[in-house]
Structure 1
């Protein structure tokens, strides 16, 4: 929830603190920086020392980030809050998803992948919806949602503390800080997961970073509830589609992800030039569908082929390969929109993501081990 709770509130902070769309995407990308930095350490550490020693400190950082968001009075505070949120979420993505697999057991790995992946997108969608509603209905529009977040994080600490998790499973040899990787025989699965998940994540990153600006500047909609709801439907679609396709073969899931992303970008560009909020919502739903399918396919490839002693590191490798380029694309889009306008920048972005999605689909067709 913390990862996207700030999304509908950036309009307020931009008004109060006076920063550009380019700076907005930099603030957004600081989350990616923190997330990637955490992934470079958390996956290996989790496999070596256990899940709890990684997840519990991450939840503590998330509490600190929530307090900073609630009291933010400068761009620097927002940057630090986003950075800490990224570190916290990066640690949970690698160690927390592996913990779900540990609890599920070896016979239910695919179910574990589904539940872990769905939990991420549910939280990612609920956070901005709650923030949008509370910011227009209660005092303290940029405060209340983060107070609720702190309470939920405290509850999460108690839950994780009591989880029946096994001890460390990985080797204690080798560097602790390194680029996460997987055994050579499984690198094809990792690369395929990145190739298909990346376009879906990048498309939803647009909704998160510049969606509110698009609603306000191009479509003339300033409601933070609409902004939060648009983000919510994005991730609601990502959640629903994961449960609806759980019995399909992985290759079919990956190809459906690519098709959804291509459709999302076509509708997004149409929404900008037609100044249609309804088309933007449709684009958000399609982007969320592509994101959910790509994430599920990538995580399932990892959990079904990687042993327990490298599982958290493999999750970290998948997410670094996806979040880092997606963050760079978001920053480039923000500054491009400052230079040439949001409509032109959106068109360039959409064409780039379509090409990436088609390349991912081609990889999925060519890769022989994705049929199951």
Structure 2
């Protein structure tokens, strides 16, 4: 196998591994309302289970965000695949609420490891950083968005106690592990401390804050909205909502290809505001089409324009810092994904979900407007200094 063919093989294995791990991260979401009803829990429980995934992910991003710089990309990806396989085996065999918490924790750890390692790999193999960022973003969006709808589809075909999707993803994990063992290039290894803290550059701060806001809306939609649609007798909505709120971003990312990161950021935040307004209108009118449209625009914003715009910027760093820069960027995203939905979940049990979402929106829109004003003033100040 010549060098070009070998590089192509390595890129394909890395891409498929990233997709499979993110695919397995959301396969349980359609069963959350069922677990909540059986245990007598409310929206707070659903949001808490969802946030356990973030609780497993963020500490790994903070402490071991650049671990692939130390132990190598290949080993990091294999470890992530093994953890993902183990979590799928646990939920397939036991399938209890208690095990679900552990499974979500392990899935968060697995995703945290593979995100930084795969981003660094793709940026090293692919000379064009924009192309590498687009490929990474599309794979993450499609993976995170397709797991839930895969479970819904498998349950509609065969209503087994353990969904067929669990077994299918476990098989895919095994195949990826075997393929990853044959990855040839693994020459990015460092010396020194095992702990590699994330890096946040001066240019990436506004993108970090923006992904926090955009992904907070994604978290609200995929953790809270399915239960609302269940109240409207649309019980099989979880997979569709997750797909629209996450995977839709993959179809909008190519629009950023010849645009600047700043353009992608502004466009994404504007779409996020529109998506939120439609969400509130859809909830108050009990309109399923409007709610689904809101979910689609949420995906276009959070996992489309905002995500790939910032990812392109942080991947355009030195090779030895790429995985740490990506980890720093994603920490903000996953904090946004987890924290607001937990607060809204518990607040919704007290004052009602609709009122909680309205309060969330008021705060989020205010932050977006303030950030936009600060950005304009900063730009004006720089222009005055140049003049």
Report the TM-score when normalising by structure 1. Answer: 0.90
Once the two structures are TM-superposed, the CA of residue 126 in structure 1 deviates from its matched residue by 1.1
2:282 corresponds to 1:271 = yes
Unaligned runs of 5+ in 1: none
Pick aligned residue for 1:120 from 122, 140, 144: 140
Could you say which residue in structure 2 is the equivalent of 1:312?
A: 323
Whole-Å Cα distance in 1 between the matches of residues 378 and 111 of structure 2?
31
Whole-Å Cα distance in 1 between the matches of residues 367 and 185 of structure 2?
38
Distance 1:98 1:16, change over 3 A: same
Once the two structures are TM-superposed, the CA of residue 361 in structure 1 deviates from its matched residue by 4.0
* Two-structure CA RMSD over aligned residues (Å): 1.9
Once the two structures are TM-superposed, the CA of residue 271 in structure 1 deviates from its matched residue by 0.9
Distance 1:362 1:303, change over 3 A: farther
Give CA deviations for 1:321-345 in whole Å, capped at 9, x if unaligned. 2212431111111101111111111
Whole-Å Cα distance in 1 between the matches of residues 370 and 305 of structure 2?
16
Written as runs of structure 1 = structure 2, the 5 A alignment for 1:7-26 is 7-26=29-48
Unaligned runs of 5+ in 2: 1-22, 380-387
Quick check: 1:103–1:164 contact (8 Å CA) kept in 2? Answer: no
2:257 corresponds to 1:246 = yes
2:75 corresponds to 1:53 = yes
Could you say which residue in structure 2 is the equivalent of 1:298?
A: 310
2:122 corresponds to 1:100 = yes
2:87 corresponds to 1:76 = no
- Most deviating of 330-339 and 149-158: 149-158
Quick check: 2:249–2:305 contact (8 Å CA) kept in 1? Answer: yes
Once the two structures are TM-superposed, the CA of residue 298 in structure 1 deviates from its matched residue by 1.0
Quick check: 2:278–2:290 contact (8 Å CA) kept in 1? Answer: yes
Report the TM-score when normalising by structure 2. Answer: 0.87
Whole-Å Cα distance in 2 between the matches of residues 135 and 251 of structure 1?
42
Once the two structures are TM-superposed, the CA of residue 142 in structure 1 deviates from its matched residue by 4.0
Give CA deviations for 1:102-153 in whole Å, capped at 9, x if unaligned. 221xx31110011011100011111111111112221325431111110111
Moved over 6 A (4+): none
Quick check: 1:198–1:322 contact (8 Å CA) kept in 2? Answer: yes
Larger radius of gyration: 2
How many matched pairs? 356
Could you say which residue in structure 1 is the equivalent of 2:206?
A: 192
Residue 4 of structure 1: SS of its match in structure 2?
coil
Give CA deviations for 1:70-116 in whole Å, capped at 9, x if unaligned. 23443221100000000001111111221121221xx3111001101
Written as runs of structure 1 = structure 2, the 5 A alignment for 1:205-244 is 205-217=219-231, 219-222=232-235, 224=236, 226-244=237-255
Quick check: 1:129–1:228 contact (8 Å CA) kept in 2? Answer: yes
Distance 1:359 1:129, change over 3 A: farther
